[in-house]
Amino acid sequence: MGQIVFENVTKEFRDEKRGVVVAVNNASFTIEDKEFVAIVGPSGCGKTTSLRMIAGLERQTRGDIKIDGRIVNDLRPKDRDIAMVFQDYALYPHMTVYENMSFGLRNLKFPKAEIDEKVHEAARIMGIEQLLDRKPRELSGGQRQRVAVGRAIVRQPRVFLFDEPLSNLDAKLRIQMRVELAELHKRLQTTIVYVTHDQVEAMTLGERIIVMNDGIIQQIAPPDELYKRPRNMFVAGFIGAPTINTTTVKYDGKAIVSPDFTVEVPEALKGRLSSYVDREIVLGIRPEDIHDANITRLKGEEAMISPRVRVVEYLGSQKLAYFDLNGKPFTAQLPSSSRIEPNADWALAVDLAAALFFDAENGWSIVGN
């Protein structure tokens, strides 16, 4: 068991310079038992504060937090049956790996034999059995990371909390640990709340993702839904790499009109845009929805553009072409077979069927919900 519920949780800090700062603003969500949920957002968005409130390291200003139906507002961290992996690992430097991993169990007065068994089992799962006698300073970054996770799993808690655990690792190790964490979740079948600022980590690990900005939850959804149907421009911009292209256009009832291109709106889209006739809307196009017109079979609904290509990046399996449209920087993600050249006008097709539309005034998705 390990269900976590936030009910209208608000956390305010008093800051000498800025006065009262609302770190988390009226957040409500439910994380189901055994679910892997990633909380993602830019720094200062309130994601770590949310995690720390679950852990009991911060107390919310208003609202209730429940774990398995029980309100835990007044419970100390040790009574919440959670384990946490910190960004800096927080390994006790004067203790060996074995002592680090057994520290919690020793405090809980487990019998020695049981502690020994559990530590060795966790060490086996994490592949760190040969490191048990070492001190943290004798370990590499990746090994410390494993010990930190090992220390968390040895207690077999109801909930695991991860606070940006991979951010101190190099790129290669990060990908390796990401895969291991996903496997670990399958194996342990325990609720995991995973905080990260890296949307790729969130997308690859989270079964559902909570996107936060300025203390406010922007959207809670599975990765594909976040990507395909973002609720607002912030989510659309935060999720996806390279980032989504956006430009302000006008809808005149028949066509989308903009300085650099005008295109007839397909019938299927007209209904969705009906209340925006003669108003400004933001058109969002993912880089992979812009095609090289020379090598793609077109459906006839695409907006044809011929921008001057500034730069082309060759990434092996694909090419990224950078150009300006309506004065905004755009990126197109093309197959490597494309012969697109920099400093040339190139025919590109924008797939409007995949386009996202946002209210230019409030940034909310017009058709995303």
Nearer to other proteins, 87 or 306 (CB): 87
Specify the residue for token string 């679910």. Answer: 35
Contacting residues toward other proteins, per CB under 8 A: 55, 57, 76-78, 82-84, 86-88, 90, 92-94, 103-104, 107-108, 151
Smallest separation (angstroms) from other proteins to the CB of 155:
8
Closer Cβ to other proteins, 10 or 87, answer by number: 87
Q: Which is nearer to other proteins, 108 or 295 (CB)?
A: 108
Q: Which is nearer to other proteins, 36 or 160 (CB)?
A: 160
Q: Which residues of 119-141 are buried (b: 16+ CB within 10 A; e: fewer)?
A: beebbebbebeebbeebbeebee
Q: Rounded CA gap, 355 and 174, in Å?
A: 32
DSSP 275: G
State which amino acid sits at residue 22: V
Strands (DSSP E) found in 86-207: 159-163, 191-196
Minimum CB separation of residue 77 from other proteins in Å reads 5
* Dihedral sign for Cα atoms in the order 127, 129, 131, 136: positive
Contact 223, 230 (CB under 8 A): no
| Residue whose CB is less far from other proteins, 78 or 254 | 78
**Helix 171-188 to helix 141-153 angle, to the nearest 10 degrees?**
20
Q: How far is the CB of 159 from other proteins (least distance, A)?
A: 11
Q: How far is the CB of 112 from other proteins (least distance, A)?
A: 17
Angle ∠(324,326,330) on CA atoms, nearest 5: 35
Identify which of residues 57 and 366 has a Cβ nearer to other proteins in the complex: 57
Peptide bond into 77 cis (omega under 30): no
Q: Which is nearer to other proteins, 88 or 252 (CB)?
A: 88
- Shortest Cβ distance from residue 57 to other proteins (Å)? 5
The CB-of-157 to other proteins minimum distance in angstroms stands at 9
CB of 134 to other proteins, least distance (A): 17
- Taking the complex as a whole, the smallest distance from the CB of residue 357 to other proteins amounts, in Å, to 44
Q: Rounded to an integer, what distance in angstroms lies between the CA atom of residue 103 and that of residue 94?
A: 12
Cα–Cα distance for residue pair 77/72, rounded to 1 Å: 9
Helices and strands of the chain, counted as H and E runs: 9, 21
CB of 96 to other proteins, least distance (A): 13
C-alpha atoms less than 13 angstroms from C-alpha of 130 in its C-beta half-sphere:
3
Counting beta carbons within 10 angstroms of the beta carbon of residue 276, is it exposed (0 to 12), middle (13 to 18) or buried (19 or more)? Answer: middle
Residue closer to other proteins by CB (options 47, 319) is: 47
Q: Which is nearer to other proteins, 2 or 223 (CB)?
A: 2
Q: DSSP alpha helices (H): ranges in 206-347?
A: 223-228, 233-238, 267-270
